[in-house]
Amino acid sequence: MPARQIPRDLHEDAREVARRKMTTKAFLKSRDERKRVEMRFAHLKTHHGFERLRLRGLSGARDEFHLAAIVQNLKTMALKLLKPPEPARV
């Protein structure tokens, strides 16, 4: 009677390496930084209608993306500058 086998995926070794790296401090820091950037893109898509590019060609796409990035940076700067001061602790 032949023995039963559980097939192992060809890329399982790479997955194991990735799983080991997921427990490091460097990975956690990188994940937090990626999340911060991804949230910016999500905000552009949901609140500013940036689902698709409206200008044609690579230069049009680059220009449109730069304008969207400028809007995000100005918004962040305004929020930091106009934030009400924190109350003094007594």
- Mean pLDDT value across the chain: 86
Report, as an integer, the average pLDDT of 25-48: 87
**C-alpha 15: how far from its chain's center?**
21
The rounded distance, in Å, linking the Cα atoms of 29 and 24 is 9
The rounded distance, in Å, linking the Cα atoms of 89 and 52 is 47
The rounded distance, in Å, linking the Cα atoms of 80 and 21 is 35
**C-alpha 86: how far from its chain's center?**
29
Q: What's residue 28's pLDDT?
A: 92
Of 1 and 67, the structure prediction assigns the larger pLDDT to: 67
Kindly list the domain boundaries of the chain, sorted by start residue: 13-40, 52-83
Provide the pLDDT confidence category of residue 90 given band limits of 50, 70 and 90. low
